[in-house]
């Protein structure tokens, strides 16, 4: 299992628009990714309700995990998106 710990760069955290952007990005990877607060339960990163239920705020640390062959690349891209508060996945890491 590959893991990335990252501080949320969106000022409003993973609420409303940023959560939707993140969920779309997680879904577009085509692999199962989980998201959790630093010391909390993991949820499906492709589920809007699950992501919103975490109550992630700007500056919170979150943990992204994935267990596939390309997990390193997938998590690096998602982690960069979350850390920088980007509106779409970066093309390269």
Q: Are 45 and 14 in contact (CB under 8 A)?
A: no
Cα–Cα distance list, 13 to 16, 17, 44, 67, 75 (Å): 9, 10, 17, 25, 18
Is 78 a known active-site residue? no
Label the pairing between strands 61-66 and 2-7.
antiparallel
**What is the per-residue pLDDT across 28-79, written as a single tens digit (0 to 9) for each?**
999 999 999 998 999 999 999 999 999 999 999 999 999 999 999 999 999 9
- Is residue 89 very low, low, confident or very high in pLDDT (cuts 50, 70, 90)? confident
Whether the predicted pLDDT of 93 surpasses 80: no
- Of the residues 2, 3, 12, 15, only one is catalytic, namely 15
CB neighbour list of residue 53: distance below 8 Å, 6 or more residues apart: 43
Per domain, the residue ranges of the chain are 2-84
**What is the per-residue pLDDT across 5-31, written as a single tens digit (0 to 9) for each?**
999 999 999 999 999 999 999 999 999
CB neighbour list of residue 29: distance below 8 Å, 6 or more residues apart: 74, 77, 78
Please give the pLDDT value at position 84.
96
Task: Tell the CATH topology of 2-84.
Answer: 3.30.1340
């Amino acid at each position: 299992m590959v893991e990335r710990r990252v501080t949320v760069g969106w000022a409003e955290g993973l609420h409303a628009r940023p959560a939707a952007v993140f969920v779309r990005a997680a879904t577009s990877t085509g692999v199962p990714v989980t998201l959790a607060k630093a010391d909390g339960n993991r949820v499906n990163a492709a589920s809007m309700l699950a992501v919103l239920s975490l109550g992630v705020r700007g500056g919170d640390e979150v943990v992204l995990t994935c267990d596939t062959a390309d997990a390193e690349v997938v998590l690096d891209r998602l982690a960069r998106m979350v850390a920088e508060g980007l509106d779409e996945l970066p093309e390269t890491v």
